[in-house]
Amino acid sequence: MKQRIEALRESLLKSSLDAALITSGVNIRYYSGFTSSDGIFLVTQKSAYLVTDFRYTIQAKAQTKGQCEVVETTNTDQLDRIRGFLAADGCKRAAFEQDEMRVGAFHSYQAMPVEWVPFGDELSMPRRYKAAEEIASLQKAQRIADQSFLEWLGRIGAGMTELEAAAELNYVCAKNGSEGASFDPIVAGGPNGAMAHAVPGSRKLQKGDLVVTDFGCMADGYHSDMTRTFAVGTIDSESKEIYEIVKTAQQMALDALKNGIAGQALDAVARDYIAKKGYGPQFGHSLGHGFGLLIHEAPYASMTSKDVLTSGMTITVEPGIYVEGKCGVRIEDCCVVGEDRYINLVGVTKELLSI
């Protein structure tokens, strides 16, 4: 954390800023180690302060490991304490996260004798590049997901509802060590799979279904993300063909994933192949997104992305085809871009599995 705070100070100095007010839970965790969003992290060129209340002071002291001053105060006194620290450290211009702060709260800060400068993108930018320990946490989360998915397939079958299957998946992931679900899992059978972000419901899994399963596990606060589509019994030839098209498109995109490729270009590799096979209109979402302390974060691979994927960044590769009234197929791996090659964190086979 010390290195992150020092790097932040250098970034502030380059922009002639004296301090950064960090209010989003994810950035508070990234810069301080504190895992609750019930706090404010203030970094000046002289000091660093984590302001929280009685409920979290013991936790805050343990998690920040002496890298900042933990300040216990009531919610009503937080603003006064922040004002005092800014004044004591001689701060005149301060950064804030413009996309994270509520209008009412910002009006209160505006009353302080400080010029507030929008700096949210710069504060979040370092999170795009994962350090070795972050990659290790991502790998840990994905190993739990790999193990859990294969175990889960042995516990479900025809006649179980999507809701029951999703509950079973959450249980298996937790039993195997996941800190929590990265997001509410998608378990969508048959025609429900044509909804890219389907919500598990009362429909029962049936023989002949393709089942789209999208889920993630967490380790040390870091999220994994994977999708596999499997069959219940024997599926028809059209469904098999759709599966193979998606599988090939995903592998083509993975083969193209390298340091320096534009997110838009990577998206086009899979999208153009699917369109060539006649299913262009049935692939309506982007190819991928970054992941880390948030399940969806920069960079992005899409038709409109301006991002360039470089070493240390994460990206999912998840093409899909969704045929209304019939089925959906999506295959997703979560990857880390390297200098010479990418690291695919997912170990589960992409051959079509059947239960």
pLDDT digits 0-9 by tens, 55-95? 999 999 999 999 999 999 998 899 999 999 999 999 999 99
Task: Say what the pLDDT of residue 274 is.
Answer: 98
In this structure, which amino acid lies at residue 101?
A: M
Give me the architecture of the 132-344 domain, per CATH.
Alpha-Beta Complex (3.90)
Average pLDDT over residues 279-303: 98
**Residue carrying structure tokens 């994933």:** 257
- Write out pLDDT tens, residues 301-314: 999 999 999 999 99
Q: Which helix (H) or strand (E) holds 298?
A: strand 297-301
Task: Say what the pLDDT of residue 329 is.
Answer: 98
In this structure, which amino acid lies at residue 150?
A: L
pLDDT at 37 over 80: no
Task: Say what the pLDDT of residue 104 is.
Answer: 87
CB 120 within 8 A of CB 98: yes
- Write out pLDDT tens, residues 315-337: 999 999 999 999 999 999 999 99
- Write out pLDDT tens, residues 112-128: 999 999 999 999 999 99
Task: Say what the pLDDT of residue 75 is.
Answer: 85
Domain limits, the chain: 2-127, 132-344
Those residues whose C-beta lies under 8 Å from the C-beta of residue 350, and which sit 6 or more positions away, are 228, 247, 250, 251, 331
DSSP letters, 224-290, are P-EEEEEESS---HHHHHHHHHHHHHHHHHHHH--TTEEHHHHHHHHHHHHHHTT-GGG--S-SEEE
Task: Say what the pLDDT of residue 76 is.
Answer: 87
The radius of gyration computed from the CA coordinates of the chain, to the nearest angstrom, equals 23
DSSP letters, 95-145, are EE-TTTS-HHHHHHHHTSSSEEEE-HHHHHGGGGS--HHHHHHHHHHHHHH
Average pLDDT over residues 231-237: 97
Among 3.40.190.10, 3.40.350.10, 3.40.50.1820, 3.40.50.880, what is the CATH number of 2-127? 3.40.350.10
